[in-house]
Structure 1
Amino acid sequence: MEKSAFSTLEKTFLILLSLFPFINGMTFVYMGSKESNFKWIIEALVYEFPWFLQFLFAYNDDLATTFAGFGILFMFICLLRTAYVSFTYKKEIDSSFRPMRKISSSFWVVFSLIMFLNGVGLIIVGYRRNVQRWVLEGALFEFLWILYFVTYSINDGIINFFIAIAVIGWILSIARTIMIYFEEKRMDNLSFSPSPQPVVSTPAPDISPKPVENAVVDIIPEFKPYKAQIDNQKQAFDKKEENITDLINKRFETGELAHNRFMSVIDNCHKLFYHQFNSATSIIEMAPECSERLDETVKDKISIMESINDEMNNLIEELIIHDSDNEKSEEDLKELFANMDNLINSVKDYK
C-alpha cells in the first residue's frame, strides 16, 4: 500500500508540474535524472526552448506571442508524454518507494526556486561535496543576475535582454538542481561498500567472478532476482566488449592514435563495469537480511551496469553501420566515446 501510494503521488506531481508554463519541461528533467536517461533530459530542453525564445524576444510583441503559442503547444505535448511515460515505464518511477533521507542536508535544493538566489544551492552543495564544477555553475547563474542589476540603469532594451537571460538561467538552474540532487543521492549510495576488502582494478581479460551455482544457495530470497539480473548484465557486457574490440581492431590500425584512445575508453568501461559487478555481487552474497539501504545500493549498481551496456550497444551499432572512414562517422564515434567518458567520470565522482 505504501509503495503504491507513493508511486501514485509521484505520478500526480509530475503530471501537475507539466501543466506549469515555463517549467513544464522539469518533469522530464526529473525523470531523466532519476533514471539516468539522458534522452529524456534532452526532451525536456525541447519543451523549454519556446519559452526561452519568448523571453529573449519579449521586446517584440509579435514574436513573443508566436513563441508563447509554441510554448503552450509544447506544454500540452509534454503533459501527454509525462502521463504516458509515468504510467508505462516499468523501472524505478513505477516500482519503488524511496523514503526521503537527510532532509536537512538537501535544503540547498530550495534555493533553486528563489529568483536572485537560484545559484546559491549549487554553490553550497559544490563546496560540501568538493565538486568544483557545481560551484562554478552556481556562480554562473548568480552572475546573470549581477549583470541584470549592473545594467539596470541603462536603456530598456538592454535591461530586457539581460533579465531574459537571467530568467532562462533561473529555469536552467532548477533543471541542474534536480539533476545534481539525484547525483548526490547516488554518491551516498555508491559510497557504501560492505565488501571486506577494497576493490582493485585488474586486467580486462582476466576477471572471472564466482560461479552462480556457488552463490545462490547463500543469498537471501529477496536478493536472488538481483543475482540473475547482475549475471545477465555481465554476460551481455562480455559479449559486447568482445565485439567492440574486434570492430575497433578492424577499423583502426594498432598503435594509431584513434585506436589507442578508443581502446583506453573501452578498458575504463571494463574496469568500471566490473567494479560495480563485484561490489553488487558482494552485497547480495553477504547481506544477512534485506534492508532499504542495501536494496537501493544494489539497484543503483545494476542501473550503472545497464547504462554501460546501453552505451556499448550504441557504439557497436555505429561501428557496424558506418564501416567507412567518412567524416560524419568519425564525429559520431567521437560523440559516443565522449558519452562513455562522461558516464565513467560521473560514476568516478561517487567513489
Structure 2
Amino acid sequence: MSIETPKLNEIKRLTTPLTFKNQKAYDNSGNEVKISETLSDVRLVVEPKKGILSDDEVLQYAPLSKLASAIRLKKGIGNSQDVLYIKESLPWYLGLYYVVLICISFAVTYAKNTILMFILLILTIIPLIYLYYIFKLDKYKKVNTSKKQAEVTQATKIEKPIDNYTGLDSLKEYKKEINNLHVVFDVKQEVVRGLIKKRFEPPQITYDKFIKTIDNAEKLFLTQEESALNIINLAAEDTQRVRSEIDSKIESMKRIINQIEDLTNELVINISSDDNSGEDVKNLIDDMENLIGSVKDY
C-alpha cells in the first residue's frame, strides 16, 4: 500500500517519541512541543498540521491533540473535557475576571448604588451564559449534522467512485482496520530502524542482529496481513470462524506493532541516558524474536 510523502512524514512526526533537551521537548523536526495544562489534565502532545491528515487519521495518530478534540466535537462524540482542552486558558481568565469583579463588588456594596449593583449582576451572569453556550455539546452535533446534510447534497452531484472491493460487505470494516495498521507499521518500523542505526552504528554485529529481527518482524507482519486480506476477499459466508481467524491475524499484527513501539521507546531512553549497555534493548529484541517464533508456530 502506498501513501503520499507529506502524509507519511506527518504521521511519522506524530508517532515518533519526543526528544528532551534543556528541560524542553521537541518533535522529530526539531520543533518545540508546548505543555498544555487544564484544571484536570497536563499534556505534552505534538499537534497535527492542518490540511495533511483526514479527520479519522488525526483521531488515530494524535487522539490527545487539540485538533482531535475539535474533530470529536464536530462529529458529535466529544465531551466537556474536549471543550476544556480547546479553551485551556478559559478557567484562568475567568478566575482573574471574577477576582476583579469581587473586588469591585465590595466598593459597589459599600456605595449602595442600585444601578452599579444591577450592572455588576449582569457582569456576573454574562460569563455563565458563555460557559453554558460552549459546554452545550448539542450545538456541536447540530453544526456537524448541518454540514453532513450539505455534503450529502453535494455528493449527489458527483459520480460515485468505483469500489474494487469484492468481498462480503459485512467484512469490509476489517479491510479498513488492516490498511490503517499497515500505515502505522510502516511509520514505526522506519523510526525504529533509524534509532537502531543511531544506537549501534553499522557495521556492528549487534546492528545486523537487530535489523535482521526487524526484517523478520516486517515479513511476519506482511504475511499476517496478506492472510487476513485473503480471508476477507474470499470468504463466502460471514461466520464466527471466519471472524475469529481475521481477528487472530489482526491481533498478531497489533502485537508486532506494540513490540516495535516498546523497542522504539527503550532505544530513545537508552540513547538519551548515560547507561549505554543496551541490556534492556537487547531483552526487547529477544522478546520480539520470541513473539515472531510464537506467531509462526501458531
TM-score range, shorter-chain basis?
0.3 to 0.5
More strand by share: 2
More helix by share: 1
Give the structure-1-normalised TM-score. Answer: 0.37
Give the structure-2-normalised TM-score. Answer: 0.44
In our comparison, the structure showing a higher alpha carbon Rg is: 2
